[in-house]
Amino acid sequence: MNSIYHDLDFGITCIDTQHMRDNFVAAYLIEDNGRAAFVDTGCHLSVPMLLATLVAKNIQVENVDYILLTHIHLDHAGGAGELIKHLPNAKVYVHEYGANHIIDPSKLRAGVIKVYGELFFKQFLGDLIPIPKDKIVIAKDNDEIILGKRVLKFINTPGHARHHICIWDEKSQGIFSGDTLGVSYREFDTDQGELIFPPTTPIQFDPDAWKNTLKKLMQYQPKYAYLTHFNRIEFTQKSANMLIEHIDGFVTIAEQFQNEKNRHKKIKESLLNYLLEIASKHGVSLDEAQQVKLFKGDLEICAQGLGVWLDDSYLRKGL
């Protein structure tokens, strides 16, 4: 298999995991002084791409020290169980809330099939392999690890999910952000910069926690965000403000339809209109059909996540 990847600076490679389409889901390979680490893995079907990248870069599997999982959603972590089988010296770092679900992924598998269906699971995700407990290390807030001669720091970052962490890389002044710093597809780049919006995926979307997380991350004054969806972007306070604006925009849409019949359908339709509108204001020149095709992969799960958040809000309020 030929690997598809983008060489960045600072010893960082963005790997296109080829999940669903080109330029949709990334994993990252970090190299430093002869040692290597993966940040996220894509799904089970993505593992051959990751191993092919090691071959293309002449990196021995014995020299990979870490698999760092930002969170356990399967487009980020579904391949970890298969990948670790090929990396004899590597450990898997994960948030404590996600660890049990990758040791025994039966509940995770059932939840994914409930959301996406069994056919989707088999066709686009492949499988979900348990990870031996002795291969797992809990990544706690402010913990640091050494890769070669560089320091990588874990940051607890709830909002997209309670089990989400980000990794601060001092060398590149960048954050490996999973989904916390949003989704930004390169096809939507314009003279105004990158278009960023929030993936409000089931089941733990929490807008207030997410906005607090963004304030926390901006204290690092990052230059870059290494996004899973997709590739590295420059990330400034303007970027954070855009993401906060659209978190609030998504919440407003959800609340508008919270008591409506066909709530999910109406939220989904309104989200698409919202995304098309912000793309137009951003100067995106793609025709509407192309934009809809690119947004399509996010609409269903974003609408589902907003629905779960509405129901949880009712429970918290005792309604």
pLDDT digits (tens, 9 = 90+) for 53-102: 999 999 999 999 999 999 999 999 999 999 999 999 999 999 999 999 99
**For the chain, how many residues are written?**
319
To which residue do tokens 């599997």 refer? 61
To which residue do tokens 């309020």 refer? 317
Q: Judge whether residue 108 has pLDDT over 90.
A: no
Is the entire prediction scored with pTM above 0.75?
Answer: yes
Which residues, in sequence order, are bridge partners of residue 5? Answer: 15
Range in 23-27, 114-118, 270-274 with the lowest mean pLDDT: 114-118
> Tokens at residue 87, please?
């990396």
Measured CA to CA, the distance from residue 184 to residue 209 in angstroms comes to 21
DSSP category for residue 190 = B
> Do the Cβ atoms of 224 and 174 come closer than 8 Å?
yes
With left for phi above 0 and alpha for psi between -120 and 50, is residue 224 left, alpha or beta?
beta
pLDDT digits (tens, 9 = 90+) for 203-232: 999 999 999 999 999 999 999 999 999 999
Phi, then psi, of 127 in degrees rounded to 5 = -160, 175
Measured CA to CA, the distance from residue 308 to residue 305 in angstroms comes to 5
Phi, then psi, of 59 in degrees rounded to 5 = -105, 125
